[in-house]
Amino acid sequence: MSFFADKQTLDDLNIPGRQRNNSIARLFDTVVTSGGRKLLDSMFQRPLSNAAEINNRSSIFNYFARQSITFPFTADEFGIMEDYLSSGQRSSLAASIVNVVSKKVLQIAVQDKEYVQLNTTVCQIIGLLNKFYVFVNQFPNEQSAYKEQLDSIKNIFADAGLKWLQNETDVKRLSLVKLIRYDYLLRADFKERLQELIEMISLLDVYIAVSAVGKRKGFCYAYALPDSRNTITVTGIYHPIVESAIGNTLVMHQDCNVLFLTGANMAGKSTLMKSFGIAVYLAHMGFPVAANHMEFSVKDGLYSSINVPDNLSMGYSHFYAEVLRVKTVAQEVAADKNLIVIFDELFKGTNVKDAYDATLAITGAFSENRNCLFVISTHIIEVGETLRKQYRNFRFAHLPTEMDGSIPRYTYQLKDGITSDRHGMMIIENEGVLDLIRSKTKSIK
Amino acid sequence: MSFKTDTQTLEDLNLLGKPGRESVFNIYNHTNTRGGADILEHLFLYPLSDAVAINNRSQTIQYFSREKLAFPFRSASIDSAEVYLGMTDKRTMLSREDNNLSRKFSQLIDADSGYKLIYNGIIAIITILQNLSDFIEKVTSSASTTPYQTELEKIMSLLAHSDITVLIAEKKINKLSYAKIADLDKLLRFTNLSKIKEVLAFIYQLDVYVSVAAVALTYNYIFPKALHKDEHTIDFTGVYHPLVKHAIGNTIRISPQSNIVFLTGANMAGKSTFMKSLGIALYLAHLGFPVAAEKMEFSVRDGIYTTINLPDDLSSGNSHFYAEVLRVKKVAKELGANKNLFIIFDELFRGTNVKDAYEGTIAITEAFAEKRNCMFVVSTHIIEAGEVLRERCANINFVYLPTRMDINTPVYTYKLEPGITADRHGMIIINNERILEIIRSRKNKTIS
> Shortest CA distance to B55 belongs to which of B234, B227, B204?
B227
Q: Which of B264, B316, B328, B355 to mutate to test the interface with A (most CBs of A within 10 A)?
A: B355
Residue contact A320–B426, C-beta within 8 A: no
Share of chain A above pLDDT 90, in %: 42
Quote the pLDDT of residue A309. 62
Say yes or no: A108 contacts chain B, CB-CB below 8 A: no
Q: Name the residue among A384, A409, A391 with its Cα closest to residue A399.
A: A409
Integer Cα distance of A173 and A312 in angstroms: 68
pLDDT given for residue A316 in this prediction: 58
Best residue in A351, A373, A401 for a mutation probing chain B (most B CBs within 10 Å): A351
Mutate to test the interface with B, among A370, A434, A436 (most CBs of B within 10 A): A436
Beta bridge partners of A410: A401
- Residue A434 to chain B, least CA–CA distance (Å): 6
Is this complex's ipTM strictly greater than 0.90?
no
Contact assignment for A442 to B447 by CB distance below 8 Å: no
Q: What is the rounded average pLDDT of the residues A359-368? A: 92
Give the CA count within 13 Å in the CB-facing half-sphere of A103: 16
Residue B1 confidence (pLDDT) = 62
Give Cα separations from B30 to A109, A418, B81, B213 (angstroms): 75, 62, 21, 10
Q: With beta carbons less than 8 A apart as the criterion, state whether B275 and B308 touch.
A: yes
d(CA B240, CA B246): 9
pLDDT of residue A445: 42
For every residue of A8-26, which 3-state class applies, written as one string? Answer: HHHHHHCCCCCCCCCCHHH
Please give the pLDDT value at position A440. Answer: 62
Q: β-strand B303-307 against B295-299: which pairing, if any?
A: unpaired
CB pairs under 8 A between A and B: 192
The overall average pLDDT reported for chain A is: 87
Question: What DSSP string describes B309-322?
Answer: SPPP-GGGT--HHH
Query: Among A63-77, A290-304, B422-436, whose mean pLDDT is lowest?
Result: B422-436
What gap in Å lies between CA A101 and CA A1, rounded to an integer?
Answer: 53
Residues B333/B327, Cβ–Cβ less than 8 Å? no
Task: Please state, in angstroms and rounded to a whole number, the distance separating the CA atoms of residues A225 and A55.
Answer: 9
**Quick one: pLDDT at residue A317?**
67
CB contacts, 8 Å: A357 with chain B: 426-427
For the segment A203-210, the average pLDDT, to the nearest whole number, is 94
Tell me which residue in A228, A350, A436 faces B329 most closely, judged by beta carbons: A436
Q: What are phi and psi of B288, to 5 degrees?
A: 80, 15
> Contact B129/B167 with Cβ under 8 angstroms?
yes
Q: What is the pLDDT of residue A89?
A: 67
Q: Looking at residue B448, what is its pLDDT?
A: 44
CA distances from B297 to A393, B43, B214, B263 (A): 63, 20, 22, 21
- Helical segments of A304-444, H only: 318-334, 352-367, 381-390, 424-430, 433-438
Q: Per-residue confidence of chain B (448 residues) as pLDDT tens digits?
A: 689 999 999 988 999 877 777 899 999 999 999 999 999 999 999 999 999 999 999 999 999 999 999 999 998 999 999 999 988 888 778 877 776 777 777 666 666 677 888 889 999 999 999 999 999 999 999 998 999 999 999 999 999 988 889 889 888 777 788 888 888 998 888 888 999 999 999 999 999 999 999 999 999 999 999 998 899 999 999 999 999 888 899 999 999 999 999 999 877 788 889 999 999 999 999 999 999 999 999 999 999 999 987 775 544 445 677 888 889 999 999 998 888 999 999 988 876 777 888 999 999 999 999 999 999 999 988 889 999 999 999 999 999 999 887 877 778 899 999 999 877 777 777 888 888 888 888 877 665 4
Tell me: pLDDT of A332 over 60. Answer: yes
Gap between the Cα atoms of A113 and A117, Å rounded: 6
Distance set, CA B365 to CA A2, A439, A444 (Å): 52, 15, 18
> If we measure between CA atoms, which residue out of B380, B37, B392 comes closest to residue B207?
B37
Segment A321-331, tens digit of pLDDT? 888 899 999 99
At CA B270, angle to CA B264 and CA B272, rounded to 5?
80
> What pLDDT does residue A313 have?
46
Cβ contacts of A99-102, under 8 Å, gap ≥ 24: A99/A183, A100/A176, A100/A179, A100/A180, A100/A183, A101/A176, A101/A180
A255 to chain B: closest CA residue: B446
**Structure-model confidence comparison of residues A352 and A8, the more confident one:** A8
